Amino acid sequence: MKKVFSSVLVTVLTLLGLLVITFFIGRKIPIDPILSVVGESASPEIYEKARISMGLHLPVYEQFFLYLKKIISGDFGYSFLTSRPVLEDLAHVFSATIELATFSLIFGVSLGIFCGIWAAKSYGSWVDKFVGGVSLVGYSIPVFWFGLLLLLIFYFGLGWFPGPGRISIYYQGYDAKSGFLLFESLFRGDFDVFLDALHHIILPTAVLGYFNLSYIAKMTRSLVLTEMRKPYILTARVKGVSSSKIIWKHIIPNIRVPLLSVVALSYGGLLEGTVLTETVFSWPGLGSYLVNSLKNVDMNAILGATFLTGVVFVGLHTLVDSINYLIDPRAKNDKK
């Protein structure tokens, strides 16, 4: 019970911390928030009126409570680039990002776990060194440059894959109400649209998923090796259990919990990674929206996007905590 309580407490505190940071970035910045509303040439009376209507004459803590109330009611203000409510904009772009991040997660996790186990199994061999090299390159390569290289080779050079964007120009008018282009076109049976979208998502998935693959492979390898060195594995070997059976029946169930945590937390990294990947591939998602707002100092949109990502992050951390609690019997028995 104490564990649940402290987990909830951390979640609430983190959300509060996030709010405090976005609040201060939004209000206590060198750019005058009033001037950005009324313009440079406004008279002092208009300026004063705007100040009062924005609540900026109140003490800081009251301003913070007002901000808190607005956020809780889902009011992130208007974006001056699109002149629509930020929340509406976010809902519009988030699905494209979720689709890309989820594809990258599937790509990174399936290959990463496979490579990690394979490397650990052949510890010290050329396979292990190769996987180590691949993941080191994944850690070191600048995402945006890698994306440009792939575009240069596979789009301009070989023509195997379509260029930037989510879908070809002649399907541009395809109306996916949910925003999840791939799932909806498949579900509605529009296979030509589905294949086109699938063709478009491959390169950005490879770019975004590569870092994920490196991370998952490295973590899997280290978890498997740590487990492999435990005495019970030696016992199993002495009893003549085969290598693959040791891995699937003994090691995997035992590293399930930390591995799931690693995977869940890596999803946050993918969401952040979309900022650069989407810019390179002109992917119409949260990352592109954020970069566009950043370049035009559209503060409401920036803070909305920051807050949304932050909430997903906090959600993932809470999820990881509860995974540990729900799956790991040792955590459940810990009644202290």
Asked whether position 232 contacts another protein by CB under 8 A, the answer is no
Asked whether position 271 contacts another protein by CB under 8 A, the answer is yes
CB of 183 to another protein, least distance (A): 25
Bridge partners for 78 per DSSP: 85
- Contact residue for another protein among 64, 80, 130, 144 (CB under 8 A): 144
DSSP string, 191-236: HHHHHHHHHHHHHHHHHHHHHHHHHHHHHHHHHHHHHHTSHHHHHH
CA nearest neighbour of 181 among 331, 172, 33: 172
Q: Which is nearer to another protein, 108 or 304 (CB)?
A: 304
Asked whether position 103 contacts another protein by CB under 8 A, the answer is no
- Of 63-71, 230-238, 252-260, 285-293, the segment contacting another protein by CB under 8 A is 285-293
- Contact residue for another protein among 142, 230, 282, 326 (CB under 8 A): 142
Give the Cβ contact number of residue 228 at 10 Å: 17
DSSP string, 276-321: HHHHHHT--SHHHHHHHHHHTT-HHHHHHHHHHHHHHHHHHHHHHH
Cα torsion 252, 256, 258, 259: sign? positive
- Contact residue for another protein among 295, 330, 335, 336 (CB under 8 A): 295
Asked whether position 252 contacts another protein by CB under 8 A, the answer is no
- Contact residue for another protein among 101, 111, 290, 323 (CB under 8 A): 290
Torsion of CA 129, 132, 138, 139, to 10 degrees: -130
Q: Using an 8 Å Cβ cutoff, are 328 and 320 in contact? A: no
Residue 27 makes CB contacts below 8 A (sequence gap 6+) with 33, 56, 63
Asked whether position 255 contacts another protein by CB under 8 A, the answer is no
Asked whether position 25 contacts another protein by CB under 8 A, the answer is yes
Torsion of CA 145, 102, 196, 183, to 10 degrees: -160
The pattern of x and - marking residues 172 through 211 that bind another protein according to CB under 8 A reads: ----------------------------------------
Asked whether position 234 contacts another protein by CB under 8 A, the answer is no
The residue ranges that bind another protein (CB under 8 A) are 10, 13-14, 17-18, 21-22, 25-26, 29-31, 120, 123, 136-137, 139-145, 148-149, 151-152, 156, 221-222, 225-226, 268, 271-272, 275-276, 279-280, 290-291, 293-295, 297, 299, 302-303, 305-306, 309-310, 313-314, 317
